[in-house]
C-alpha cells in the first residue's frame, strides 16, 4: 500500500452495546478522537481521524443498538448515518459469545446499500466458553468478509483495518443476494409495493427499492415521512398500496407485519447459527455468572456496592493528596516569583490575589478529579456499572422509576449536564422529567473541590469518609424527592426494567486513560474560561473601592506596638527574646488580619455579603461563605476560587494558604459540614439549569428545580447546624 495519504475514507463502527465496539475504536484512534453530540440530538458522537497504510481514515463510532428499528434515538442515529452519510464501509462489531443476538443487527445492516464487514470480536471469551464459529462459512453464507478480533487486547485490529480498506477500494458492488428471504406472501407484498414505488418515484426514490418497501410494510414512521417528502402529490397511490399490502398480511396471519418480518429474520439467523456455530460438549465455567452470584446477591450485593463507592472517594482524597501538594508548591513558587518580579500595583494585586489565588485554588484539585473519573471508567469498562443499575432497581421502584434511570444519576457524579441529557433514553415522559428533577442531587465533580477544601481543613484523616457521606446523602435525598414527586406531581405506573448484564472484562489501561482524560478536559477548559473570569470579577468586587474608612488607625496601632516592644529591653537570654518577638509578631498579624477583614467587609463584595448574611447566618455560614455560594450558580468550582480570593488573598504564595485561613477564621467543623451539605443540594449551576430548561422544554420545571433544590438545601443545612449545636458539636 502507498505510504503517503492519497485518499480519505469514512469507516463506521456499529454493534450491540457491550460488544467491544468502544475498545476497538479506542485502539484505532487512540487520543486522536473528538467527542461531541450528533446534530440536533444529545446522544454522544465519537469520531477520530488517523493516517494509516496511505489513507486518511475517518472512524465514526455509532451509538450501540440492538436493531435498526427506529424506536430509540440511538437506533435512528445509527440508521440515518449509514443511509444519509454513506460511509465507505460499515464494520459490524459482533460479540462472538452471543452470535445469535448480534446477528439481528448485523443482518439488518446487511440489507442496506453499503459495504459491510463483520468483525467477530471477543473471540477469547467465546473460546473460553467452548464456542467455535466457522468464519469462512459465515462469510460464504452472507457474502461478507468476516474476521476475528480481541478488541481489548488489540489482537486482529491491524488485519481488520487492512481488510476494511481493501473492501472500500474494491470494485465489487453491494451484494444483492443472500439477504433475508421472507415467506412467499411477504415476498409477494414486497415485490408488488416495490413495483409501485418504482413506477411512481423511479430514480427519485432515496433508498434501495426492496428495503424501502420492507420498511413501509413495517409501518416505519421515518421512512414514510421521507417517502412523502419525495413523492409530494404522488404519495396517495403509494400509501394506498402500503395499506392494501399491510391489510392483506394481517388478514392472512392475524399479526402485525412488523412482527412477521421480525420472526422471519430470527428464523433466518437461527439457520445461519446452526450452520456456523458449535459448542463444546464439556461444561465451561462462566466466570461472570459466578461473580454475579456475589455482586448482585440480594443480601450482600448492595453493601458491596456501597463499599466500592466508599473506596472510590477515599482513594480520591488519599491518593490525590500528594500530587495536590506538588501542584500547590508549584503555584506557591510561581506566586513568589511574581511577587518578587513585579512592583506594587493593582496589576500585581490582580495577578497574585485574583488570578493565582482564585484559579490556583481550583487547579490543585485536578489530581482528585482525574482519580474520580479513573474510578468511574473502571466501573464502566469492567461491566460493573450495569450491575449497579441492576442493584438499584428495587430502590428506584420505591420512587416509581427503574434501574435504567439510575444510569443518568450515576453519570451525574461526573457532570449533571450530560446526565440530564442521558435521560432522553427513557421511554416515558414522566420518567424523564422525574429523573431530570432528582439528578441535580447527585454530587457532580465540580463540587468535589469544595468538599476537599472543607473536609481536608476540618476533618483530617476522616475527610474521605465525610465526603462519602455527603455523596450518600445526595442519593438518599434524590430517592425521597422522587417518591414525593411520583406521589404528588408526576403520578404514573412503574415502568418495567430489563437490562443486560454484560460479561466482566479486564479493563485496558489505554481505554481507562482515554475515558478519564476525555472527561477531565472539561475541568481544565473551565480553568482558562469561566473560573478565570469569575476569579477576576470576585477580586474586582473585593478590591474596590480602594479608599476605605476604617474604624481605627491600624498603621498607627502597629507602629505603637513596635515602639512598645522596642522600648522594652529584656534580659539577654535567647529563649525570652524569641518569645517576645513571637508575641509581637502575633499581635501585628492579628491587626493585619482585622484590617483585611474590615476592608473586605466594606468592599463591594462585602456589601453583597452583608445583604445575604441573614439568609446564611442560621446555617453557620459567614458572609464570605455566603458570597462564595452565590457565585457558585455560574459554576460550582467558582465557590473554591471565591473562597481562595476572600480568605487567602494575603497568603496566596504560602502552601495550604486557604486551609490555614479557614482554620484561623470563625468557621467551625459543624458549619463547614453544613456548608458542604448546602453545596451538595442547592440550585444547580448555570449550564445544568439551561439543560433542565432544554430537556423538559418548560420554564416552569426549570424554575421549580431552582426553588425546590435551594429550599431543601437550606432546610437540611439548618437541621444539621442547629441540631449539631443542640447536641454540643459546635
Mean pLDDT for the stretch of residues 379-400: 77
Say how many Å lie between the first and final Cα of the chain, rounded: 74
pTM beyond cutoff 0.75: no
Q: Is residue 675 part of a domain?
A: yes
- Give the model's confidence band at 730: pLDDT under 50 very low, under 70 low, under 90 confident, else very high: low
Cα gap 308→301, rounded to integer Å: 11
Cis peptide before 356 (omega within 30 of 0): no
Task: Taking the CA atoms of 720, 724, 725 and 729 in sequence, report the sign of the dihedral they define.
Answer: negative
State which of 213, 245, 279 marks the end of a domain: 279
**pLDDT (tens digit per residue) in 70-101:** 777 778 888 888 888 889 999 999 999 888 88
Instruction: Give the percent of the chain with pLDDT over 90.
Output: 14
pLDDT tier for residue 705 given thresholds of 50, 70 and 90? very high
Comparing 52-56, 171-175, 336-340, 523-527, which segment has the lowest mean pLDDT?
171-175
Q: Please choose, from the candidates 185, 239, 198, 236, the residue with its C-alpha nearest in 3D space to the C-alpha of residue 216.
A: 239
Please tell me the total count of domains within the chain.
3
- Does any domain span residue 330? no
Residue-wise pLDDT tens digits, 22-69: 888 888 887 666 655 555 554 667 888 988 888 999 999 998 888 887
Is the pLDDT at 640 greater than 90? The verdict is no
Provide the pLDDT for residue 720. 94
pLDDT tens digit sequence for 658-703 = 777 788 777 899 999 999 999 999 988 888 888 888 888 889 999 9
Beta-carbon contacts of residue 74 (< 8 Å; ≥ 6 apart):
43, 63, 64, 65, 425
pLDDT of residue 649: 46
Secondary structure, 3-state, 364-411: CCHHHHHHHHHHHHHHHHHCHHHHHHHHHHHHHHCCCCCHHHHHHHHH
Complete DSSP assignment for 186-255: HHHHHHHHHHHHHHHHGGG-SS-HHHHHHHHHTT-HHHHHHHHHHHGGGHHHHHHHHHHHHHHHHHHHSS
Predicted local confidence at residue 11, as pLDDT: 94
In a domain, 585, yes or no: yes
- Return the minimum-mean-pLDDT range out of 100-114, 556-570, 695-709: 556-570
Q: Rounded mean pLDDT of 185-210?
A: 86
Confidence class for position 411, pLDDT limits 50, 70, 90? confident
Q: 246-251 — which CB contacts under 8 Å span 24+ positions? A: 246/217, 246/219, 248/185, 248/189, 249/185, 249/186, 249/189, 249/217
3-state SS assignment for residue 532 = helix
The per-residue pLDDT for range 255-269, each reduced to its tens digit, is: 888 888 888 888 888
CATH number of the CATH domain containing 24: 3.40.50.300
Same domain, 568 and 636: yes
Tell me the pLDDT tens digit for each residue of 285-302. Answer: 567 778 888 888 878 888
Same-domain check for residues 576 and 641? yes
For residue 589, how many other CB atoms are within 10 A of its CB? 12
Same-domain status, 573 and 689:
yes
- What pLDDT is recorded for position 12? 93
The answer to whether residue 199 is domain-embedded is yes
Structural domain of 34 = 7-169
- Among residues 235, 262, 279, the one where a domain terminates is 279
Same domain, 148 and 201: no
Position 634 scores a pLDDT of 79
- % of the chain beyond a pLDDT of 70: 89
Q: Which helix (H) or strand (E) holds 34?
A: strand 33-37
- Judge whether 309 lies within some domain: no
Residue 296: inside a domain: no
Q: How far apart are CA 509 and CA 20, in angstroms?
A: 15
57 forms bridges with which residues in the sheet?
Answer: 9, 50
Q: Is 112 a residue whose pLDDT tops 90?
A: no
Residues 162 and 197 in one domain: no
pLDDT tops 50 at residue 653: no
Given pLDDT bands bounded at 50, 70 and 90, which one contains residue 6?
low
Domain closes at, from 252, 279, 306 = 279
d(CA 646, CA 353): 9
- Domain match, 27 and 112 both: yes
Mean pLDDT within 515-524: 76
Amino acid 655: pLDDT: 46
Residue 270 predicted with pLDDT over 70:
yes
Q: What is the pLDDT of residue 635?
A: 79
Q: How confident is the model at residue 602 (pLDDT cuts 50, 70, 90)?
A: confident
222 and 148 housed in the same domain: no
Same domain, 158 and 191: no
pLDDT at 173 over 60: no
User: Per-residue confidence at 456, pLDDT binned at 50, 70, 90?
Assistant: confident
- 498 by Cβ neighbours in 10 Å (0-12 / 13-18 / 19+) ranks as exposed
Do residues 428 and 438 lie in contact, with contact meaning Cβ atoms separated by under 8 Å? no
Residue 634 lies in a domain: yes
Q: What confidence score (pLDDT) does residue 13 get?
A: 93
**Contact call for residues 497 and 404 (beta carbons, < 8 A):** yes
Distance CA 295, CA 286 (A): 15
Residue 284 has pLDDT above 60, yes or no: no
For residue 194, give the CATH number of its domain.
1.10.287.1770
pLDDT at residue 495 above 70? no
186-190, 311-315, 404-408, 460-464: least confidently modelled range:
404-408
Joined together, the cell numbers standing for residue 145 give 468478509
Amino acid at each position: 500500500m502507498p505510504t503517503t495519504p492519497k485518499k480519505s475514507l469514512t469507516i463506521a463502527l456499529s454493534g450491540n452495546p457491550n460488544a467491544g465496539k468502544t475498545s476497538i475504536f479506542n485502539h484505532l484512534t487512540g487520543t486522536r478522537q473528538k467527542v461531541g453530540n450528533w446534530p440536533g440530538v444529545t446522544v454522544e458522537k465519537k469520531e477520530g481521524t488517523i493516517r494509516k497504510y496511505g489513507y486518511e481514515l475517518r472512524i465514526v463510532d455509532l451509538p450501540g443498538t440492538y436493531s435498526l428499528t427506529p424506536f430509540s434515538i440511538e437506533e435512528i442515529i445509527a440508521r440515518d448515518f449509514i443511509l444519509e452519510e454513506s460511509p465507505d464501509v460499515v464494520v459490524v462489531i459482533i460479540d462472538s459469545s452471543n452470535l445469535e443476538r448480534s446477528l439481528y443487527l448485523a443482518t439488518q445492516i446487511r440489507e442496506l446499500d453499503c459495504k459491510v464487514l463483520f468483525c467477530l470480536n471477543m473471540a477469547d471469551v467465546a473460546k473460553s466458553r467452548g464456542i467455535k464459529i466457522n468464519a469462512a462459512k459465515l462469510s460464504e453464507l452472507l457474502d461478507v468478509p468476516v474476521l476475528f478480533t480481541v478488541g481489548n487486547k488489540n489482537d486482529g485490529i491491524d488485519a481488520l483495518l487492512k481488510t476494511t480498506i481493501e473492501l472500500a477500494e474494491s470494485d465489487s458492488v453491494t451484494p444483492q443476494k443472500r439477504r433475508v428471504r421472507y415467506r412467499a406472501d411477504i415476498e409477494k407484498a414486497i415485490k408488488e409495493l416495490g413495483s409501485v414505488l418504482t413506477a411512481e418515484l423511479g430514480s427519485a426514490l432515496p433508498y434501495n427499492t426492496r428495503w424501502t418497501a420492507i420498511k413501509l410494510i413495517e409501518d416505519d414512521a421515518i421512512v414514510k415521512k421521507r417517502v412523502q417528502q419525495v413523492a409530494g402529490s404522488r404519495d396517495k397511490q403509494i400509501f394506498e398500496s402500503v395499506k392494501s399490502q399491510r391489510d392483506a398480511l394481517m388478514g392472512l396471519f392475524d399479526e402485525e407485519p412488523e412482527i412477521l418480518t421480525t420472526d422471519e429474520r430470527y428464523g433466518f439467523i437461527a439457520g445461519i447459527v446452526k450452520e456456523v456455530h458449535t459448542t463444546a460438549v464439556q461444561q465451561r465455567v462462566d466466570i461472570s455468572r459466578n461473580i454475579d452470584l456475589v455482586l448482585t446477591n440480594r443480601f450482600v450485593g448492595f453493601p458491596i456496592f456501597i463499599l466500592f463507592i466508599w473506596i472510590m472517594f477515599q482513594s480520591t482524597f488519599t491518593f490525590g493528596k500528594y500530587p495536590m501538594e506538588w501542584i500547590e508548591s508549584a503555584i506557591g513558587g510561581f506566586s513568589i516569583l511574581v511577587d518578587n518580579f513585579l512592583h506594587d500595583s493593582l496589576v500585581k494585586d490582580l495577578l497574585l490575589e485574583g488570578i493565582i489565588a482564585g484559579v490556583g485554588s481550583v487547579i490543585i484539585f485536578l489530581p482528585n478529579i482525574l482519580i474520580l473519573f479513573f474510578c468511574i471508567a473502571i466501573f464502566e469498562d469492567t461491566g460493573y456499572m450495569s450491575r449497579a443499575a441492576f442493584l438499584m432497581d428495587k430502590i428506584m421502584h420505591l420512587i416509581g422509576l427503574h434501574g435504567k434511570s439510575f444510569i443518568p444519576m450515576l453519570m451525574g457524579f461526573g457532570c449533571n449536564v450530560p446526565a440530564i441529557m442521558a435521560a432522553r433514553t427513557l421511554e416515558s415522559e414522566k420518567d424523564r422529567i422525574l429523573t431530570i428533577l432528582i439528578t441535580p442531587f447527585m454530587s457532580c465533580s465540580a463540587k468535589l473541590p469544595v468538599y476537599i477544601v472543607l473536609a481536608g481543613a476540618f476533618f483530617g484523616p476522616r475527610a474521605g469518609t465525610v465526603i462519602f457521606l455527603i455523596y450518600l446523602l445526595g442519593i438518599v435525598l434524590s430517592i425521597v424527592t422522587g417518591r414525593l414527586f411520583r406521589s404528588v406531581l408526576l403520578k404514573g405506573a412503574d415502568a418495567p426494567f430489563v437490562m443486560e448484564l454484560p460479561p466482566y472484562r479486564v479493563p485496558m489501561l489505554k481505554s481507562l486513560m482515554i475515558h478519564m482524560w476525555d472527561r477531565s478536559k472539561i475541568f481544565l477548559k473551565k480553568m482558562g474560561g469561566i473560573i478565570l473570569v469569575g476569579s477576576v470579577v470576585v477580586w474586582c468586587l473585593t478590591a474596590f473601592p480602594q479608599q476605605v474608612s476604617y474604624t481605627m488607625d491600624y498603621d498607627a496601632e502597629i507602629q505603637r506596638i513596635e515602639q512598645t516592644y522596642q522600648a522594652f529591653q529584656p534580659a539577654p537570654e535567647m529563649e525570652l527574646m524569641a518569645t517576645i518577638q513571637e508575641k509581637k509578631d502575633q499581635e501585628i498579624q492579628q491587626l493585619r488580619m482585622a484590617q483585611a477583614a474590615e476592608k473586605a467587609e466594606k468592599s463591594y463584595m462585602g456589601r453583597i455579603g452583608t445583604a445575604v448574611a441573614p439568609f446564611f447566618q442560621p446555617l453557620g455560614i459567614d458572609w464570605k461563605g455566603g458570597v462564595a455560594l452565590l457565585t457558585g450558580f455560574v459554576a460550582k468550582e467558582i465557590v473554591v476560587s471565591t473562597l481562595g480570593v476572600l480568605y487567602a488573598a494575603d497568603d496566596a504564595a504560602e502552601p495550604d494558604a486557604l486551609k490555614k485561613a479557614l482554620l484561623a477564621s470563625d468557621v467551625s467543623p459543624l458549619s463547614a459540614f453544613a456548608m458542604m451539605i448546602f453545596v451538595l443540594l442547592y440550585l444547580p449551576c448555570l449550564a445544568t439549569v439551561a439543560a433542565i430548561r432544554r430537556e423538559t422544554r418548560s420554564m416552569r420545571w426549570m424554575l421549580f428545580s431552582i426553588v425546590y433544590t435551594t429550599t431543601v438545601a437550606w432546610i437540611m443545612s439548618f437541621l444539621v447546624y442547629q441540631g449539631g449545636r443542640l447536641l454540643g458539636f459546635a
